[in-house]
Structure 1
């Protein structure tokens, strides 16, 4: 009997998808590094496996028809972990891989992690596995976290725009693909919100919704690196943080697509709607 594997089952996106599939009565195997933390769902079993462990992952994927491959947590070896996962999926006989990529994934993308997503897509293509790519824009759910304790969003985004997308919308879109994978084989979907907002507009929307005064300070590149020194984060991570804003400034995250309405049957959630739910 075939079933769907949902990875990242304890995460914000994987957990949402797992719940939607359970509501649809689908048999699932929920894969996480921490299976004991997976929420119990009907017709679902949880197994522990790490993307970097090829044998454990191959066993976790054995017998699956379709697999939701939620990209690994950000790390210096993320791409290697992705390649190990893809190899395990191929060896396990998976028949369709649905990968959560990133909007504008490209070899020379301004956002450094979008380059890793592009390389992962290429590796999946080369593996011969049937696939669907979901290229998510920045999570709209994450935008409130950009504001510091002082209520200021800081970054070198200039007056660029971002079409951030709600995680609930992504989860619905992914579920649609997972339930009918053959209809989406070989497709790449850009998943965005319905509006492209400047960070000034993001700050104004946050202020209205929360009653706090939120503002945006467009940093220079030098200021951006200096303001993040206190985190003592590794160089690759600081570069990823800063390059997120550079991608906005470069216009690489401003496109608005019809991916969400096409896959879910309803308009994409606006940032204001997300904040007032």
Structure 2
């Protein structure tokens, strides 16, 4: 039976208190996932990370971790690549401490290089992260290159699949809003598009890549260069439609982690859960 997980990207907006208390807060709301945000740097101590992991386990919250934004594995500058690798290594270590199952990261940019060269550099750099993960004994932690929302960014679905073909325990993280924005609103507008994405990932990388498939969702505003700003599910002038995404997920029969990147985080995670419950039934919600 396929299972779905729902939760926010980071500390819930209505939560007041230490991060350690978030798993209980989410559990009491009826949510069962949390993507810990290390987007400004990996600053959590080992002790605190382990305590967070213990609380997540106690309340059946599936943990993931988002690595710092300041990563560019495609840069022609070796110093930039090495700094990016260090940030990813820090992220893998913290994820291992807290028992987060995947490290989500933006692969980089095309600035001062070609997409082809940026992709080659990223794969080469990730081999160092792969080696570190092995030396740490953290093979349980997946690497998750996220589909990016700007046309200047490395991280199309095809590029992320290419990365994961070369790197062990790697699977793409699908940000549906980014796919929509990068296509200037022409993709992820029909259930068939969602199914196409999922089937491509599974075909190229195998069933483990969709057991579960880690996903981000919000509505999004875009311009000629792609992503501009994330919006709530209530702001219906922006796309994509979550019903389309959930329907496609249900039809493929995969396991799924839905992380809300809406400005109202956990509130829209609940909205997403309710929509999927109507489409799939309570059997799909793993509480």
Q: What TM-score bracket applies, with the shorter chain setting the length?
A: 0.3 to 0.5
Question: Which TM-score applies when normalising by structure 2?
Answer: 0.36
Question: Which TM-score applies when normalising by structure 1?
Answer: 0.37
Larger-gyration structure (1/2): 1
